[in-house]
Structure 1
Amino acid sequence: MSQVFVFLEGKDGTLKKGSVELLTWAKTNGLETSAGAIGADAAGLAKQAGAFGAKVAFASTPSAEGYNPEVYVSLLKEMISASGAQIVLANASALAKDAFPRVAARMDSSVASDCTGLKMDGGKLIALKPLYSGKCTAEVEFESGLNIVLMRSNQLPVMDADGSEADVKTIDAPQASGNVTLEKTVQGASNKPDLTEANVIISGGRGMGEAKNFEILEDLAGTLGATVGASRAVVDAGWVPHGMQVGQTGKTVSPSLYIACGISGAIQHMAGMSGSKVIVAINKDADAPIFQKASYGIVGDIFELAGPLKEELSKALN
Structure 2
Amino acid sequence: MLASGFKSAGLMARRGLAASAQARMASTLVLAEHAEGAIADSTLSVVSAAKAIGGDVTVLVAGADAAKIAEQAAKIDGVSSVLAAGDAAYDHGIAENITALLQSVQDSKSFSHILFAASNDGKNIMPRLGAKLDVQPVSDILEVLGEDTFKRPMYAGNAIATVKSSDSVKLASVRITNFDKAAAEGGSASVEEVSGPGDAGKTTWVADEVAKSDRPELTTADKIVSGGRGLKNGENFEMLYTLADKLGGGAVGASRAAVDAGYVPNELQIGQTGKIVAPGLYIAVGISGAIQHLAGMKDAKTIVCINKDPEAPIFQVSDIGLEADLFKAVPEMIEKL
Q: 1:53 to 1:246 in 2, by over 3 A?
A: same
Q: Indicate how the Cα distance of structure 1 residues 226 and 182 shifts in structure 2: closer, same or farther if over 3 A, else same.
A: same
Aligned equivalents of 2:129 and 2:150: distance in 1? 19
Distance in structure 1 (CA, Å) of the matches to 2:108 and 2:40: 24
Q: Could you list the runs of 5+ residues in structure 2 that have no partner in the other structure?
A: 1-23
Change in 2 beyond 3 A, CA 1:81/1:194: farther
Q: CA deviation at 1:17?
A: 2.4
Match of 2:177 among 134, 142, 154: 154
Higher mean C-alpha displacement, 282-291 vs 189-198: 189-198
1:279-315 deviations in Å (ceiling 9; x for gaps): 22122333321010112222234344445545666xx
Larger mean Cα displacement after TM superposition, 273-282 or 136-145: 273-282
Structure 1, residues 50-100: CA drift from partner, whole Å, max 9, x if none?
Answer: 332112111123324423222211112233344432111211011111111
- Bigger shift: residues 96-105 or 25-34: 25-34
Is 1:176–2:202 an aligned residue pair?
no
- TM-score by length of structure 2 reads 0.82
Secondary structure at the residue paired with 1:154? helix
**Matched position secondary structure for 1:149:** strand
Deviations along 1:235-276, one digit per CA (max 9) or x if unpaired, are 222111222222344334333432211111122322332333
Measure the CA separation in 1 of the matches of 2:188 and 2:132.
Answer: 31
Match of 2:86 in 1: 61
* CA 1:25–1:183: 2 relative to 1, 3 Å: closer
**More displaced 10-residue stretch of structure 1: 292-301 or 90-99:** 292-301
Deviates more, 1:207-216 or 1:81-90: 81-90
Q: Per-residue deviation at 1:29? A: 5.6
1:14 lines up with 2:38 in the alignment: yes
Q: Which has the higher helix share?
A: 2
Match of 1:219 among 224, 242, 246: 242
Cα distance in 2 for partners of 1:160, 1:177 equals 35
CA distance in 2, matches of 1:293, 1:5: 37
- Alignment match of 2:151 (pick from 116, 124, 128): 128
Report sequence identity in percent.
Answer: 36
| CA shift for structure 1 position 138 | 0.7
Separation of aligned partners in 2, 1:11 and 1:309: 36
Match of 2:260 in 1: 236
1:174 Cα offset (Å): 3.1
Name 2:218's counterpart in structure 1. 195
The 1:39–1:48 alpha-carbon spacing in structure 2 relative to 1, beyond 3 Å, is: same
TM-aligned CA distance change 1:154 to 1:311, over 3 Å: farther
Counterpart Cα distance in 2 of 1:215 and 1:298:
20
Amino acid at match of 1:238: G
Distance in 1 (alpha carbons) for counterparts of 2:259 and 2:212: 12
Paired residue type of 2:44? V
- Is 1:108 aligned to residue 134 of structure 2? yes
Aligned counterpart for 1:142 among listed residues 152, 158, 165: 165
| C-alpha distance in 2 between matches for 1:177 and 1:160 | 35
Give the whole-Å Cα distance in 2 for the aligned partners of 1:21 and 1:294.
27
In structure 2, do the counterparts of structure 1 residues 177 and 75 end up closer, same or farther at CA, with 3 Å as the change threshold?
closer
Whether contact under 8 Å (1:18, 1:91) holds in the other structure is yes
Partner of 1:316: none
CA RMSD of superposed structures (Å): 2.5
Q: Residue by residue, what CA displacement relative to the aligned partner does 1:4-27 show, whole Å, maximum 9, x if unpaired?
A: 111111233332222212223433
Q: Counterparts of 2:122 and 2:320 in 1: how far apart (Å)?
A: 34
Matches within 5 A, 1:24-39: 24-27=48-51, 30-39=54-63
2:121 maps to amino acid? L
Relative to structure 1, is the Cα distance of residues 312 and 119 closer, same or farther in structure 2, using a 3 angstrom cutoff?
farther
- Whole-angstrom distance in 1 between the partners of 2:152 and 2:33: 22
The 1:24/1:236 distance shift into structure 2, 3 A limit, reads: closer
The one-letter code of the counterpart of 1:214 is F
Residue in 2 that maps onto 1:43 = 67
Distance change in 2, residues 1:197/1:152 (3 Å) = farther
SS at match of 2:166: coil
Normalised by the length of structure 1, the TM-score is: 0.86
Q: 2:124: which partner in 1?
A: 98
Structure 2: distance between partners of 1:82 and 1:194: 36
Check 1:307–1:266 CA distance in 2 against 1; reply closer, same or farther (3 A cut): same
Looking at structure 2, the residues matched to 129 and 25 of structure 1 have their Cα atoms a distance apart, in angstroms, of 13
The Cα of 1:126 is off from its aligned counterpart by 1.3
Q: Which residue of 1 aligns with 2:302?
A: 278
Which ranges of structure 1 fall in alignment gaps of 5 or more residues? 314-318
Q: Is the 8 A contact 1:18 1:152 kept in 2?
A: no
Aligned 8 A contact 1:189 1:243 in 2: no
